[in-house]
């Protein structure tokens, strides 16, 4: 019997895919157990009814055939306008490829940047799919650390040391899993290194509508970066459209032309009725995005207030995105062991930091994605569990 390809067998690098706790929590829920899930970045509300009405109306109106592979012209224009405003750059529809979600955009961008065997840098902690996405195009993922003690800002000295011989760098700000929003100093340092070593920068900006403090700075907006940056965006997080699978890649026209060719040979575009709904969603403006984001900021603040003054669990305050990273090294457990034990003891599911790289070892990622009352209950269970690990002493209130 023939074997599958080495590439497909090795997408996870010989280990698991980082989602073991999530899979187990879902199996427990399917068996009827009342697990409180703080795992994935899935909104606790559905896509807004008016967006769904537009999607249904477009489908009923006939937008069910093949749509233009690069994306329908009005949506490409709307994305170009959005990015022109946020980046301060003159994007046109020819700078935009519509993709089936941000994940497909990341895959396409790395195809554009990387040949077989190329060294592709990424910041650690990283979203769990990043290494597999890089391996899927035949490149070699190279993690570069960002430490919790520095608020998970990338270590520029480590990046400079890793850059020789690399062809690309994948960054994500606001960041999943850490919630870090990269500072101007960080981004200018990244830009200097990228220009100095002739790197492509693939910038995952799907959380750009969720910034709690500071401001989101698109790296393409910095001097010298527009010609070497591929920006990936999505409506998944900004408009609670995770299941609609609608995203984009923005970049130089010649690269987008090549990526359209790739899309012709892979996805063959995105359904037209979903694109029509996305066009409508973008037209709702910043107020609609702020309404989607508001619960995450509220829960972030509630969690930070609950953990204030603790020594057993240290929260790293996030400046954006829908997650909070918790440093639980004082418990003596790894993030994986803590998450597995918490699920068994309290039926609360969180993601271990080890799912996102070695720089997050001994941490947990908590998603701010349950209704407020359930979220508060889950946090009480988590903190109570940690206190029991410490022998019942109230170190968390020291």
CATH number, position 183: 3.40.640.10
Average pLDDT over residues 274-303: 98
From 284, 318, 334, give the residue that closes a domain.
284
Residues 6+ apart with CB under 8 A from 118: 138, 139, 140, 166, 167, 168
56, part of any domain: no
pLDDT at 398: 36
Mean pLDDT of 353-380: 97
Which of 267, 284, 301 finishes a domain? Answer: 284
**pLDDT band of 13, cuts 50, 70, 90:** confident
The answer to whether residues 248 and 314 belong to one domain is no
Q: Which of 115-124, 303-312, 327-336 has the lowest mean pLDDT?
A: 303-312
The CATH number of residue 292's host domain is: 3.90.1150.10
Q: Are residues 292 and 149 in the same domain?
A: no
Residues 138 and 278 in one domain: yes
- Say if 138 falls within a structural domain: yes
Q: What are phi and psi of 17, to 5 degrees?
A: -95, 5
- Please report whether residue 236 resides in a domain: yes
Report yes or no on 266 lying in a domain. yes
Q: In the predicted model, what is the mean pLDDT of residues 119-129?
A: 97
For the purposes of burial, counting CB atoms within 10 Å of the CB of 219, is it exposed (0-12), middle (13-18) or buried (19 or more)?
A: buried
200 and 239 share one domain: yes
Q: pLDDT at residue 17 above 80?
A: no
Check whether residue 165 and residue 30 sit in a common domain.
no
Please give the order of strands across the beta sheet that includes 200-204: 96-99, 247-250, 229-234, 200-204, 166-172, 119-124, 140-145
Assigned domain for 34 exists: yes
Residue 180 and residue 41 in one domain: no
Same domain, 280 and 304: no
Q: Are residues 141 and 172 in the same domain?
A: yes
31 and 90, same domain (yes or no): no
> Residue 262: pLDDT band by 50, 70, 90 thresholds?
very high
CA distances from 202 to 90, 104, 246, 251, 368 (A): 19, 13, 18, 10, 26
- How many CB atoms neighbour CB 302 within 10 A? 15
With cut-offs at 50, 70 and 90, classify the pLDDT of residue 370. Answer: very high
User: pLDDT value at position 395?
Assistant: 43
Same domain, 336 and 253: no
* Cα–Cα distance, 336 to 352 (Å, whole number): 5
State the pLDDT at residue 232: 98
Whole-model pTM?
0.95
- How many domains does the chain divide into? 2
- What's the sign of the alpha-carbon dihedral 177, 178, 180, 185? negative
Domain of 77, in residue numbers: 65-284
- The answer to whether residues 392 and 248 belong to one domain is no
Confidence grade of residue 397 (pLDDT, cut at 50, 70, 90)? very low
Residues 22 and 33 in one domain: yes
Average pLDDT over every residue of 270-289 = 98
Whether 102 is covered by a domain: the verdict is yes
- For residue 342, pLDDT beyond 60: yes
| 198-238: pLDDT as tens digits | 999 999 999 999 999 999 999 999 999 999 999 999 999 99
Domain for residue 357, yes or no? yes
Last residue of a domain, one of 284, 317, 346: 284
Query: Percent of the chain at pLDDT above 90?
Result: 94
Beta pairing, strands 36-38 & 96-99: unpaired
In this structure, is residue 60 part of a structural domain? no
Please give the share of the chain, as a percent, with pLDDT higher than 70.
Answer: 98
């Amino acid at each position: 019997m023939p074997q599958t390809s080495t590439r497909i067998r090795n997408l996870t690098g010989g280990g698991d895919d980082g989602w073991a706790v999530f899979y187990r929590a879902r199996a427990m829920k399917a068996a009827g157990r009342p697990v409180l899930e703080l795992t994935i970045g899935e909104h606790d509300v559905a896509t807004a009814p008016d967006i769904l009405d537009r999607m249904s109306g477009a489908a009923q109106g006939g937008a069910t055939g093949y749509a233009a592979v690069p994306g329908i012209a009005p949506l490409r224009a709307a994305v170009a306008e959005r990015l022109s405003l946020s980046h301060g750059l003159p994007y046109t529809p020819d700078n935009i490829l519509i993709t089936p979600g941000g994940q497909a955009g990341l895959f396409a961008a790395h195809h554009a940047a990387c040949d077989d065997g190329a060294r592709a840098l990424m910041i650690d902690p990283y979203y769990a799919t990043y290494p597999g996405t890089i391996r899927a195009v035949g490149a070699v993922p190279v993690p570069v650390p960002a430490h919790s003690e520095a608020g998970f800002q990338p270590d520029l000295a480590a990046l400079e040391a890793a850059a020789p011989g690399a062809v690309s760098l994948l960054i994500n700000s606001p960041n999943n899993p850490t919630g870090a929003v990269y500072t101007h100093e960080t981004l200018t340092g990244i830009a200097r290194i990228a220009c100095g070593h002739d790197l492509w920068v693939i910038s995952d900006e799907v959380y750009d509508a969720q910034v709690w403090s500071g401001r989101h700075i698109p790296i393409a907006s910095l001097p010298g970066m527009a010609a070497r940056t591929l920006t990936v965006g999505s409506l998944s997080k900004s408009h609670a459209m995770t299941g609609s699978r609608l995203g984009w890649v923005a970049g130089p026209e010649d690269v987008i032309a090549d990526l359209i060719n790739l899309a012709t040979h892979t996805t063959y575009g995105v359904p037209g009725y979903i694109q029509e709904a996305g066009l409508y969603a973008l037209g709702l403006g910043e107020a609609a995005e702020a309404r989607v984001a508001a619960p995450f900021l509220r829960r972030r603040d509630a969690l930070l207030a609950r953990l204030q003054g603790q020594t057993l669990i240290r929260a790293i305050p996030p400046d954006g995105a829908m997650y909070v990273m918790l440093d639980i090294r004082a418990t003596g457990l790894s993030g994986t062991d803590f998450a597995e034990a918490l699920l068994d003891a309290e039926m609360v599911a969180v993601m271990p930091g080890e799912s996102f790289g070695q720089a997050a070892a001994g941490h947990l990622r908590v998603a701010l994605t349950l209704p407020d009352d359930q979220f508060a209950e889950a946090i009480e269970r988590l903190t109570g569990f940690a206190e029991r690990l410490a022998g019942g002493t109230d170190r968390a209130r020291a």
